[in-house]
């Protein structure tokens, strides 16, 4: 009996070993992932050249040919002598040249750049060209339209960001089933510590953008950060905010904090979006103790009232003395003091203006 059990045990072990060997033959080895194979593990590439049009084209072609994702550092690059085409112009304008490649937004070298540090001598971007129209309105080119893998960009001496420069660099998922609705990029972080002006639609539909270092910005124009995912914004020098400039991504988090400066900024109507965009959420605006223009309501919540004050202006009514008594499209949207109408107040927004030392 003992011998029979031993034989059965040995046969069983042989079957198990045989199965393991067969499985090991069928099992494919894990793929080897080398640096640069994925956007999460890019190769660092540091350039130190005069960034002429020719040099910029050669650099992109090399990145395309190598087929690796890169973290591209151009900080040491100097200006070229040109005032058109791609590269760094003699006046400090950095031009990606959206037409460089097989077709508009088609250069695959740009699509391999995961992070980009602009030259320290770069101060701005070109004014975009009109590429067509939609519903009677002009469509502008996006200079970074081909940078579909770009997650982070830094420009330490950029002073102005023109309209539509980074427009549409986002990926949007359906809140219902998670399928991709829009997929043109994944810009997540921007670092422009000296930028003063941000133009219309500059980051419109950058759905993944959740961090912006823009501490010196004074002017944010219409729809500049429309449909982004910013939760905290430190802009103590802000002087003006345009229509729908801070319209939230619909399924973004419901708690938002802004830090403004000593003087309350002017703003057009519907800064946070139209009432049709309403989502119940709480917003805190922190300002220095002794700041002016924000009203007589330290640490108070603004919710249901419709009085003409800065808080309700921020909730959508608008306050822009430069447009006092101005009539737009047949509707008087600003009174003699520059306040707009209550029609644009986002009733789902609960606003707290908090005075801090």
Residue 17 confidence (pLDDT) above 60: no
Please, is 80 exposed, middle or buried when counting C-beta atoms within 10 Å of its C-beta (0-12, 13-18, 19+)? Answer: buried
Residue 174 — pLDDT band, cuts 50, 70, 90? Answer: low
CB atoms within 10 A of CB 282: 15
d(CA 119, CA 47) in angstroms, rounded, equals 10
Lookup result for tokens 């922190």: 286
- Do residues 77 and 114 make contact, with C-beta atoms less than 8 angstroms apart? no
How many angstroms separate the Cα of 335 from the Cα of each of 46, 101, 273, 317? 55, 51, 20, 11
Residue 260 — pLDDT band, cuts 50, 70, 90? Answer: very high
The pLDDT of residue 296: 66
Average pLDDT, the chain: 86
Q: What percent of the chain has pLDDT over 70?
A: 82
Q: What percent of the chain has pLDDT over 90?
A: 60
How many angstroms separate the Cα of 86 from the Cα of each of 90, 93, 157, 225? 12, 10, 19, 26
The pLDDT of residue 212: 97
Lookup result for tokens 């008087």: 332
Per DSSP, 124 falls in state B
Residue 298 confidence (pLDDT) above 60: no
Domain ranges of the chain: 35-230, 247-357
Residue 166 — pLDDT band, cuts 50, 70, 90? Answer: very high
The pLDDT of residue 348: 84
Q: Largest Cα–Cα distance in the chain?
A: 107
What tens digit of pLDDT does each residue of 82-114 get?
999 999 999 999 999 988 875 555 688 999 999
Residue 67 confidence (pLDDT) above 60: yes
Among 69-83, 164-178, 304-318, name the most confident range: 69-83
Residue 5 — pLDDT band, cuts 50, 70, 90? Answer: low
Residue 263 confidence (pLDDT) above 60: yes
Name the token pair of 338: 């520059």
Per DSSP, 273 falls in state -
The pLDDT of residue 282: 86
The pLDDT of residue 150: 97
Residue 2 — pLDDT band, cuts 50, 70, 90? Answer: low
Give the rounded distance of the alpha carbon of 51 from its chain centre. 26
């Amino acid at each position: 009996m003992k011998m029979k059990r031993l034989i059965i045990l040995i046969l069983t072990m042989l079957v198990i070993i045989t199965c393991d060997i067969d499985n090991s033959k069928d099992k494919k080895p894990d793929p080897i992932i080398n640096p640069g194979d994925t956007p999460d593990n890019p190769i660092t590439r540091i350039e130190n050249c005069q960034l002429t049009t020719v040099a910029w084209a050669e650099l992109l072609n090399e990145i395309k040919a190598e087929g690796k994702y890169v973290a591209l550092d151009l900080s040491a690059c100097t200006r070229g002598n040109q005032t058109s085409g791609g590269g760094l112009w003699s006046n400090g304008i950095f031009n990606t040249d959206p037409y460089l490649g097989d077709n508009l937004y088609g250069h695959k070298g740009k699509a391999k750049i995961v992070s980009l540090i602009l030259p320290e001598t770069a101060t701005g971007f070109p004014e975009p060209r009109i590429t067509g129209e939609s519903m009677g309105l002009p469509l502008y080119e996006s200079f970074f339209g081909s940078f579909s893998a770009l997650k982070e960009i830094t420009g330490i001496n950029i002073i102005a960001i023109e309209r539509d420069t980074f427009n549409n660099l986002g990926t949007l998922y359906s809140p219902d089933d998670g399928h991709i609705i829009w997929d043109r990029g994944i810009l997540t972080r921007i670092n422009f510590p000296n930028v003063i002006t941000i133009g219309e639609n500059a980051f419109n539909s950058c759905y993944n953008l959740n961090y912006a270092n823009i501490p010196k910005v004074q002017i944010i124009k219409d729809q500049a950060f429309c449909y982004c995912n910013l939760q905290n914004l430190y802009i103590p020098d802000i002087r003006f905010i345009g229509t729908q400039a801070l319209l939230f991504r619909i399924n973004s988090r419901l708690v938002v904090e802004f830090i403004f400066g000593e003087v309350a900024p002017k703003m057009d109507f519907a800064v946070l979006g139209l009432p049709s965009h309403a989502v119940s959420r709480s917003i805190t605006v922190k300002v220095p103790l002794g700041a002016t223009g924000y009203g007589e309501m330290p640490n108070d919540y603004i919710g249901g009232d419709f009085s003409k004050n800065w808080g309700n202006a921020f909730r959508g009514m608008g306050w822009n003395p430069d447009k006092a008594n101005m009539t737009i499209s047949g509707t008087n949207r600003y009174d003699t003091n520059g306040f707009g109408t209550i029609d644009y107040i986002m009733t789902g927004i609960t606003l707290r203006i908090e005075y801090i030392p």
